[in-house]
Structure 1
Amino acid sequence: MKLKDILEGYPHSLNGNKDIENIDINSIVFDSRKCEEGSMFVCIVGYETDGHKYIDSALKLGVKVICHSEELEGYKDDITYIKCENTRNALAYFANRFYSFPSKNLKLIGVSGTNGKTSFCDIAHTLFENLGFKTDYIGTLGRKNTKLEGQIIRTTPEITELTKDFSDMVKNDVDYCFLEVSSHGLVLDRVSFLNFYIGVFSNLSMDHLDFHKTMEEYYQAKKKLYYMVDRFSVINIDDDYGHRLYNELKEDKKDVISFGEKEQSDYKITIKELSLSKSSFTLTKGNNKYDFVINSIGKFNIYNVTPAIIIALEEGIGYEKIKEAILRYHGTNGRIERVAEDIFIDYAHTPDAMEKILKLIREVSSKKITLVFGCGGNRDHGKRPIMGSVSEKYADNIILTMDNPRKEKNEDIIKDILNGIKNKDKTEIIYDRKEAINKAVRNKKDDEIVLVLGKGHETYQELGDKKIYFSDREEILNSLK
């Protein structure tokens, strides 16, 4: 694509070679190591490094176009320098231009919230696939398209990856794409200039305050998504922040649909049965009642599946088809996943998610709970004692262990967790996660449930700067041999 066409419509100034009509761009990159002839290198000021430092590296690899935000010491006549106020935002615009704004030709459904994003996307992707649509999913579990499938580093990938993926989806005639939209992704322009068909809000609770600093800042970051939606947003109003969001969107004349157990919900949830094998509930909209059974555990999974059902109903799909298709869903990898009899793993790594799972087990079983968990290093310290307090409230036995300590000492992380636990007698510390799981599983009694939290689908431990292979599921199965 010609550089002139990429820049069209975005504020910028030029230095060096200004003949933008005759410059061809083959790729847009922000990592100098991926530069090649024909690349546009966009200098991003990050939290650990600054892309401006790598301009010379990019030039040595044959780059002739540099996008920057800071004044440079000198400008070469044969290089095109594009100065923009915010290069993250510029990167998003240029990537969308380069791929002809591909999300306009998809039904892109974005979900945001602290917990439930992955489960919703997995459920919705599976539901619409079972209904006969061609669907894709991008998020924590990776990519579900056969050509794109694989792990991703972030919940919401960088915009250069997303726009390329969406372009491929359009070429492959994909009908719906379900995208996890993180607060980081919203703040750091990873989803800017995308066209969202529908938005979904799950809930908001304490997390990522190392990045956002306050819950208000966190909420405002999440809120951005719902002003990028073309059709309507589906909001959980049983959540306090969801109720606030619903009212604020209504005030701003946005189309919104509410769900929850509250009487005023557009789609009212009535829970009929919860067990360790299935859940059943009724959705009521006006005079219409829709009964559903799902092969997933817990009230929170009803809240995860409900927006997917609402979207299907609002898209004009028949109730009986939806009811039959949802029965074919058997749970999300690493989300309250039964690995063996009375042994479960889950990704829960926030106080809210932990409490929901522990409450669920208490509601559907009278068995004792042995809980294995830790907290991530170099992340929000404030949630650690809260998670300690939650664990003490619901679990009979607690084993504290490592969970991605990164560059922080395990002793310091666990000390923070212990600050929230008053009765230390039922708490044991085993730093090695393999040993912690092994002890919990091998010592398990018939009247006991073992719950291993924090990793779920993850297959690694972050130790220092390295990722070491590790799977809770595999360690549990090995312990049972």
Structure 2
Amino acid sequence: MHTSLSALTTVVTVLAQHGPAEVVISGLTLDSRQAGPGTLFFALRGTATNGHQFIPKAVAQGVAAIVCEELPAELDPNTTYVQVPDSAEAMALMAAEFYGHPSRKLQLVGITGTNGKTTCATMLHKLFRELGYHCGLLSTVQNQIDEEVIPSTHTTPDAIRLNELLARMLKVGCTHVFMEVSSHSVVQHRVTGLHFAGGIFTNLTHDHLDYHGTFDNYLKAKKGFFDMLPKSAFALTNADDKRGAVMLQNVRGRRETYSLRGNGTFRGKLIENAVHGLHLEVDGREVQFRLIGVFNAYNLLAIYGAAVLLGEEPTEVLTVLSGLTSAPGRFEPIVSPKSRITGIVDYAHTPDALENVLQTIADIRQPSQQVITVVGCGGNRDGAKRPVMARLAAELSDRAVLTSDNPRFEDPNEILAQMQVGVPAEALGKVLTITDRREAIKTAVALAGPGDIVLVAGKGHETYQDVQGVKSDFDDKHVLATMFDLLGK
């Protein structure tokens, strides 16, 4: 694939250009290590590094052209420099142009919100494949082209990777693509220039304030996704979330809602929430689903509503949806063979998500069942939620074990000290603190009696633990199953 630099610059605002415009571009990159002949290098201002400092390296490797916000003091005569107001925005627009705007030829649906993005995207992908379509998935857990799994490193890939993946999906015959849209991706212009058929809003709670600074900025980031939807798209939001209506303000496309309280375009009513699944009435039809929990009732309504808005027949959608399971690491049960202890692995890493999971367990547990929760908080992330997470675990569990999550570059003991502040005085006796996550899970299983419930929260689908920049193998599901076996449970 190749095009001319002049064709790519027509879609961006150019402040200055030095060097010939008729340069052949055969590849795009934001990584100077991948720069070379025929490559267009984008110098981005990141949160950790400034790509402008790598311009000399890209030039030394023979890069064809450079897009930047500040021109270097010395310009190489064999390189074309394009100065733009915002390199990230330019990269997104030029990547879409380079790959032939694949999103315009696909039914691309984006899902945003604090919780539920992965479940909605994954289940929409499963649903539409069952309905006979070739589909793509872009999610936190993994990217998929039909059955082909492509490892995922970010909730939303960078704009170059994103357009490349969409082009691959289109080439192999995909008609629908379902993707998570993180708040970071909106602010960083990763989804700029994409054409969406629809957008879904799940909910908005306390998260990512380490990046956005304030809750208002976080809200604006989510709203920014809905503001970019074209007139032809649908905007589907949760009417029962107090920020749902905000998302629809000034939206150009169709404004639709879903609700469990009876005020939405798509209406649901909770009949039963039990260990075997949800029994819901959806738009007048009673349906039994395999998912558990009120939060999943909302996810199911969002999925159903989106499918209908994409033109699918309601009864057929509900029939297929009733047989589907959730995404990996989302309320995923593992039952011990001997003691019938129910282990639940969940990605809950925000106060709202943890409360939802524990409330769901409370709704379906038997009076004789003890609930033991293992939970930690990630390092180099919003610290304000740490004491809140510990308080919820202590208040909503019979026993709680506070432990390490992904400490990253922070001291795990310091993170745990911040969590412990949130434990109420009357609950101190039922809370343990064990830094080593493996030992914490082992202790929780040891404390559990026959039929009890052990929740391991925070990492879900992740198969690693991030300590000082090194990712070591660690899978909560595998560790939990190993401890059942080791302790003869």
TM range (shorter): over 0.9
What residue number does 1:404 align with?
Answer: 406
Q: In the alignment, what sits opposite 1:290? A: 285
> CA deviation digits over 1:88-107, x for unaligned, max 9?
11111110110111100000
Corresponding residue SS for 2:47: coil
Partner of 1:8: 10
Deviation at 1:262, TM superposition (A): 2.6
Q: Which residue of 2 aligns with 1:468?
A: 472
Q: How many Å apart are 1:221 and its aligned residue?
A: 0.3
Q: Identify the residue that residue 299 of structure 2 maps to in structure 1.
A: 304
Q: Does 1:204 align with 2:204?
A: yes
Following superposition, the deviation at residue 256 of structure 1 comes to 1.1
Q: Report the counterpart of residue 441 of structure 1 in structure 2.
A: 445
The within-5 A match list for 1:286-365 is: 289-340=284-335, 341=340, 342-365=342-365
> Once the 2 structures are TM-superposed, how far is the Cα of residue 442 of structure 1 from its aligned partner?
3.0
Matched, 1:370 2:369: no
The aligned counterpart of 1:267 is 266
**Contact preservation (8 Å) 1:29, 1:35:** yes
Q: Which residue in the other structure is 1:104 paired with? A: 104
Q: TM-score, normalised by structure 2?
A: 0.94
Report the Cα distance in structure 2 between the residues aligned to 1:466 and 1:148, rounded to whole angstroms.
27
Output the CA distance in 2 between the equivalents of 1:479 and 1:223. Answer: 44
Per mean C-alpha deviation after superposition, the further-off stretch among 75-84 and 311-320 is: 311-320
The whole-number CA distance in structure 2 between the counterparts of 1:171 and 1:34 is 24
SS in 1 for 2:380: coil
Are 2:87 and 1:87 aligned?
yes
User: Contact 1:237 / 1:258 at 8 angstroms: preserved in 2?
Assistant: yes
Q: Which residue of 1 aligns with 2:236?
A: 234
Paired residues for 1:50-61 under 5 Å: 50-61=50-61
Could you say what secondary structure the match of 1:177 adopts? strand
Change (3 A) 1:25 1:72: same
Cα distance, 1:40–1:90 mapped onto 2, change above 3 Å? same
Give the secondary-structure state (helix, strand or coil) at the position aligned to 1:222: helix
Match of 1:213 in 2: 213
Matched to 2:353, the amino acid is A
Structure 2 gaps of 5+ residues are: none
What is the percentage of aligned positions where both structures have the same residue?
Answer: 31
Query: Partners of 2:252 and 2:136 in 1: how far apart?
Result: 30
Alignment TM-score, normalising by the size of structure 1? 0.95
Structure 1 letter corresponding to 2:387: P
1:60-71 to 2 correspondences below 5 Å = 60-71=60-71
CA positional deviation for 1:147 = 7.7
Shift of 1:160: 0.4
Give me the whole-angstrom Cα distance separating, in 2, the residues matched to 1:297 and 1:137: 23
Aligned to 2:282, what secondary structure does the other structure show?
A: strand
Aligned residue number for residue 281 of structure 1: 280
| Alignment partner of 1:113 is 2:113 | yes
Q: Distance in 1 between matches of 2:56 and 2:236?
A: 47
Q: CA deviation at 1:254?
A: 3.9
Alignment of 1:158-169 (within 5 A): 158-169=158-169
Q: Which moved more, 1:233-242 or 1:322-331?
A: 322-331
- CA, structure 1 residues 314+64, in 2 after alignment: closer, same or farther (shift >3 Å)? closer
Cα distance in 2 for residues equivalent to 1:128 and 1:87: 36
Counterpart AA for 2:259: G
In the TM superposition, what is the alpha-carbon distance from 1:14 to its structure 2 partner?
4.0
| The 10-residue stretch of structure 1 (270-279 or 349-358) with the greater mean CA deviation from structure 2 | 270-279
* Structure-2 residue corresponding to 1:427: 431
CA-CA distance at 1:148 after TM superposition: 5.5
The 3-state SS of whatever aligns with 2:36 is: coil
Q: Distance in 2 between matches of 1:434 and 1:214?
A: 34
Question: Is 2:383 aligned against 1:381?
Answer: yes
Task: Answer yes or no: is the 8 Å Cα contact 2:406–2:467 preserved in 1.
Answer: yes
Deviation at 1:426, TM superposition (A): 0.6
What one-letter code is carried by the residue in structure 2 that aligns with 1:378?
A: N
Q: Return the letter of the residue paired with 1:217.
A: N
1:14 touches 1:80 (CA, 8 Å); kept in 2?
no
Q: Take 2:85 and 2:314, find their aligned partners in 1: how far apart are those partners?
A: 50
Distance 1:16 1:326 in 2: 56
The C-alpha deviation readout for 1:79-135, integer Å capped at 9, x for no partner, is 111001110111111101101111000000000000000000111111111111111
Distance in 2 (CA, whole Å) between partners of 1:76 and 1:316 is 54
Q: Matched residue of 2:243: which SS?
A: helix
**SS at 1:52 equivalent:** helix
Q: Judge conservation of contact 1:66–1:80 (CA < 8 Å) in 2.
A: yes
Q: What's the secondary structure of 2:150's corresponding residue?
A: coil
Separation in structure 1 between the aligned mates of residue 271 and residue 238 of structure 2, nearest angstrom? 19
Separation in structure 1 between the aligned mates of residue 268 and residue 147 of structure 2, nearest angstrom: 37
Judge which range, 419-428 or 319-328, deviates more: 319-328
Tell me if the contact between 2:267 and 2:301 (Cα under 8 Å) persists in the aligned partners: no
- Write the distance in 2 (CA, Å) between the matches of 1:365 and 1:47: 44
Distance in 1 (CA, whole Å) between partners of 2:14 and 2:48 is 26
Q: Distance in 2 between matches of 1:429 and 1:77?
A: 61
CA distance in 2, matches of 1:277, 1:29: 48
**Structure 1: which 5+ runs fail to align?**
none
Q: Which moved more, 1:221-230 or 1:161-170?
A: 221-230
- Encode CA deviations 1:432-472: one digit per residue, 9 max, x unaligned: 11111112123311252100000110000000011111000
State how far apart, in whole Å, the 1-side matches of 2:253 and 2:404 are: 44
Aligned residues of 2:375 and 2:393 also touching (Cα < 8 A): no
CA distance in 2, matches of 1:38, 1:319: 50
Partner amino acid, structure 2, of 1:282 = E
Counterpart amino acid of residue 443 in structure 1: L
Letter of the structure 2 residue corresponding to residue 428 of structure 1:
L
- Runs of 4 or more, structure 1, over 4 Å off, are none
Q: Which residue pairs with 1:143 in the alignment?
A: 143
Q: Which moved more, 1:344-353 or 1:419-428?
A: 419-428
Following TM superposition, by how much is the alpha carbon of 1:167 offset from its aligned partner in structure 2, in angstroms? Answer: 0.7
Q: Which residue number in structure 1 is paired with residue 75 of structure 2?
A: 75
Mapped partners of 2:286, 2:173: distance in 1: 32
Task: Note closer, same or farther for the CA distance 1:36–1:71 as it changes in structure 2 (3 Å cut).
Answer: closer
Amino acid of the residue matched to residue 403 of structure 1? Answer: D
Q: Does the CA contact (< 8 Å) of 1:298 and 1:360 recur in 2? A: yes
Q: What per-residue deviation string (whole Å, max 9, x for no partner) do you get for residues 6-51 of structure 1?
A: 1113111444322x12x11011111101112100111111121111
Amino acid at match of 1:92: A
Q: Which amino acid in the other structure matches residue 439 of structure 1?
A: T
Tell me by how many angstroms 1:313 deviates: 2.2
Alpha-carbon RMSD across the aligned residues, in angstroms, is 1.4
Alpha-carbon distance between aligned partners in 1 of 2:311 and 2:64, rounded to the nearest angstrom:
50
